[in-house]
Amino acid sequence: MNTRALLESQGRLEALKSGGRLEAAKRAIEAGHPFVEQLGLDIPDTLDALDMSLGQLEAAGTPLTQLEAIVRLVTRPPMVVENGAVSLIPLPDEFGADIDIKIKRNEHWIGSVGRVEFINHSMTWGGTAWVVGEEADGRHLLVVTNRHVAKIVARRNARGEGVFMRSPFTMVRYGARVDFNEEVGALPSDERPAEILRFTYLADDASADVAIGRIEKPAGFAVAPLPLVGTDAETDEIVAVIGYPAFDSRNDRTEMEKYFKGLYDVKRFAPGKMMPVAPGTVLSHDCTTLGGNSGSPILSLDRNKVVGLHFAGAYGIANSAVRASTLRDLLSGNRPTQVLVEASLEQEVADGFHDPNHFIGRNGYDPNFLSKKVDFPKLPDGMFNLASPTDALAGRQHELRYTHFGLLYDVDRRSPVVTVVNIDGEKAIKIKRKKPDKWFFDRRIPVEAQLGKGDFPGDLDRGHMVRREDPNWGDDRPVAQLANDDTFHYTNASPQHSSLNQNRSTWQGLENHILDSTKTHAFRATVFTGPLFDDDEDPFLDGVGINLPLQYWKVVVMDALQDDGSLRLHATAYLLSQGQAIQKYLQDRRETEAVEGFAFGEYKTFQVSVAFLEELSGFDFGPLRDADPLAALADELELPDSRPQFVEITGADSLVL
């Protein structure tokens, strides 16, 4: 044993001795404590050791860590839970004569504590979680664990939620669940699992070590939220930690591992006491815990309520916990926030409102703008709840019409579904952007179905679907100015993460590249744009009640001049993505690339075939499918139909026109 470890163990034994724990251990062993047999102790030798001074112990060659382990396990035993009940072990007199009654009185909470298990991860499990609340819908419960447990499979996003990550090796998405059983002797068929649908809160590294997850209320068994104390824990308050002790390599140097044999991976009930409590200090307790106890509730056996959330322990010194009052604040929505300084230092401008009369004379999108008619794509039945503006036209009952562009809007998703703009490069008029931007609600549809300024917190941007510059053309400046101003309606905005900016120059420059191409004619184009919705993958904006689209698509249509002087439609499709849609497509078709080396990186712009975009979105672009040069190239190269056609766009020379 090295000198440092020896000195640390000596210090801990001195603390145990001064606290009366050595005497308590001696009395328990004399009374035939069950751990004596489990540890294979020689009772006379052990009792002699407990009577020796530290100096005598060293001279006798008695390992200090062995004696320390005996004292801790006898005076703070992690008792087995079996069939929802604590297998009682005699406890020291300091717990009081009625301690068994107090334990039995709190047993009904044990079923609400479970083991956090991971899905698609090399670690099978990582800590403890427990039910802390019920959501207003009556169908979901909230479970709480530690941030450092959740971060094994999830990352914090801009809204403070936890988003499940993907394996860097297989690209398969991780997941997590809570098994509310996993007791000693339990069979696999005895499990009581509840999948964590998402983490509604994942603390940043500067906040309390907390993560809150949402689960569906189990149908086959009942779990109830553990109540939180109204006032914080008191010094020497009798408590118990309920959780799953696991092997902890940090304890190897103290040779403790062999004294914890049989304690791993199953539910335990470990009584103890709160350490001295003072305002501004870390809440501490002396219950026996190991690594898997991360996220365990600390239950007051007198008040029958939770006083804290266990998050860390230094062996033989103390265990740390998050106070119940902190948990209560988080559950009530009082969550820590970070001050974000905008680089532009723009002054905020209040949102505006435009009544239906403001839009009189707006013609919207012109489907006959090019040589052949190009309609809105057909949408899947029942997929969207499209708004019907008050000024809708016959045959265009869902189109919100603006100057040189129109759009279809989903009131449930509070998002544009498809936008389409006519661009006339020959009549383009440059309109200078006014700072700061002022955005408007369009009162032709319900205002509550639109996102406002307050729904774009932190690093979420109000992303134009129709580019500000695209409709800015006409025979005079007032028309172009009107078109410019029309793009600043929330019906034309989609919440976009600022990381999209990494590829914004390529994405927004597509129209310019294509219009400048010698293969286009008359500098005219029609551009369709929209989010690529994926309700399974897109993170949920908790305070707003919508999913945040992670990918966007665009279809650029123009006239191409034929050798005989005639015009034909020319359509190219694009995807702004980190690769999720492409990987999912491959994975659904069991292509090996989906799990063998497929890598996500920063946002990139891909040119994809119109047919591939139709598969991803469910939309039907009609004749545009046959006007796609990328599909024609695939036919020329005789590529299999099952393979998605896509090309990463790194510059104008990457475009297949």
Confidence (pTM): 0.52
Which DSSP string do the residues of 418-484 spell out, in sequence order?
Answer: EEEEEEEGGGB---PPPSS---EEETTS-GGGS--GGGS-TTEEEEESS-SSTT-BSSSHHHHHHHH
pLDDT digits (tens, 9 = 90+) for 537-553: 677 766 677 888 888 99
Q: What is the pLDDT of residue 251?
A: 46
| Local confidence band at 333 (pLDDT 50, 70, 90 cut-offs) | confident
The dihedral built from the CA positions of residue 623, 629, 632 and 634, taken in this order, carries a sign that is negative
Task: Inform me whether the pLDDT recorded for 396 exceeds 80.
Answer: yes
pLDDT digits (tens, 9 = 90+) for 85-123: 998 888 888 899 999 999 999 999 999 999 999 999 989
Average pLDDT score over residue span 218-244: 92
Segment (H or E) for 118:
strand 113-119
Residue 313 bridge partners (DSSP): 319
Task: Inform me whether the pLDDT recorded for 355 exceeds 80.
Answer: yes
* Alpha carbons 230 and 404: distance in angstroms, whole number: 60
pLDDT digits (tens, 9 = 90+) for 269-319: 999 999 887 666 678 888 888 777 889 999 999 999 999 999 876 555 567
- Helix or strand or coil: residue 79? strand
pLDDT digits (tens, 9 = 90+) for 17-57: 666 777 777 777 776 676 666 666 666 777 777 667 666 65
> Most distant CA pair in the chain: distance in Å?
108
Q: What is the pLDDT of residue 415?
A: 93
Q: What is the pLDDT of residue 41?
A: 63
Sequence-distant (6+) residues with CB within 8 A of 586 are: 593, 594, 598, 644
